Amino acid sequence: MTTIPTFKLNDGNEIPSFGFGTYQIPADGSTYDAVANALKLGYRHIDTAAAYFNEQEVGKAIKDSGIPRDQIWVTSKLWLQDYAYEDAKKAIDTSLEKLGLDYMDLYLLHQPYGKVDEAWRALEEAQKAGKIRSIGVSNMTPKLWKKFVPSFDTMPAVNQVEFNPYFQQKELRQILADAHVALEAWAPLGEGNKDLFAEPVLNALAKKYGKDVGQVILRFEHQEGVTVFPKSVHEARIKSNAEIFDFELTSDEMDAIRKLDHGKGQHDPDTPGMGQLLLNAFDIHAND
């Protein structure tokens, strides 16, 4: 695979702009195999989370790859259950232990609810202690960003949110640009939305460049300065997803894709009671 370009974060670290996501890949050997394949194919950025329940398999695949640690960017995330300060400190150590790593390259607050300030303080301290290189947040809308971030001592390096051609986060991106905060995309392919993949403009561009629609979408996002990490358990798809660095969309083509924006996504973090809903849905200590 071609060398993957990096984006510079506001803390000086350079994040590979393209990576591999592990959300909903089970920890039954599937995560290990998928991450091992991704690393073999040239990926050097792996995204996981405590609430994905697969950190251990991610860590084992990284270790078994034989690739030097400093060549792989590893992201994990703190779950809501552990946002109280002392719990957050323990959870960071637990993630490191499960991953089998001395440090994580990026660690995020997975959801913007509850004791956010306490959790963020724990991340700041872990960063100072060398356990985490970059710290960030996830699922913060403009409203939630304005609620929490002004009281942080450290500006997040990243906000990981839903992003694809149907939901281009225009208001949020302006806020992040002003604060020099990078945007990372989850659901960069719209979670396989059939309408998105049937869009005439995307299909025409796929035909023009000899690519598939997914590659055109990922290329668009890359050119927008967004870090993406599509996931797949199929080796051929893991390989093809990354083949986006040998063509470039023109400014007119970028504008045409920008017009696909619906201005809203499938998940609305501003929904009242969302924090409690998520807490009820994921109990990460059920098997402790």
Strands (DSSP E) contained in the chain are: 6-8, 14-16, 20-21, 45-47, 73-78, 104-109, 132-138, 158-162, 182-186, 227-228
Q: 23 catalytic, yes or no?
A: no
Distance in angstroms (rounded) separating the CA atoms of residues 138 and 159: 5
Answer yes or no: is pLDDT of 2 > 80. no
- The per-residue pLDDT for range 31-75, each reduced to its tens digit, is 999 999 999 999 999 999 999 999 999 999 999 999 999 999 999
Lowest mean pLDDT among 90-99, 156-165, 194-203, 276-285: 276-285
- The per-residue pLDDT for range 167-190, each reduced to its tens digit, is 999 999 999 999 999 999 999 999
- What pLDDT, on a 0 to 100 scale, did the predictor assign at position 91? 98
Answer yes or no: is pLDDT of 111 > 70. yes
- The per-residue pLDDT for range 197-242, each reduced to its tens digit, is 999 999 999 999 999 999 999 999 999 999 999 999 999 999 999 9
**Residue 283: band (very low, low, confident or very high) from pLDDT cuts 50, 70, 90:** very high
pTM comes to: 0.97
Distance in angstroms (rounded) separating the CA atoms of residues 266 and 191: 10
Token reading at 107: 């660690």
Residue written as token pair 């695979």: 1
Identify the three-state secondary structure at position 286: coil
Is residue 37 within 8 Å of 48, Cβ to Cβ? no
Could you tell me what percent of the chain has a pLDDT over 90?
Answer: 97
Catalytic residue selected from 23, 32, 43, 52: 52
Q: How far is CA 274 from CA 125, 181, 187, in A?
A: 28, 24, 19
What is the pLDDT of the chain when averaged over all its residues?
Answer: 97
- What pLDDT, on a 0 to 100 scale, did the predictor assign at position 1? 62
> Can you say how many angstroms the Cα of residue 115 is from the centroid of all Cα atoms in its chain?
22
- What pLDDT, on a 0 to 100 scale, did the predictor assign at position 38? 97
Answer yes or no: is pLDDT of 191 > 80. yes
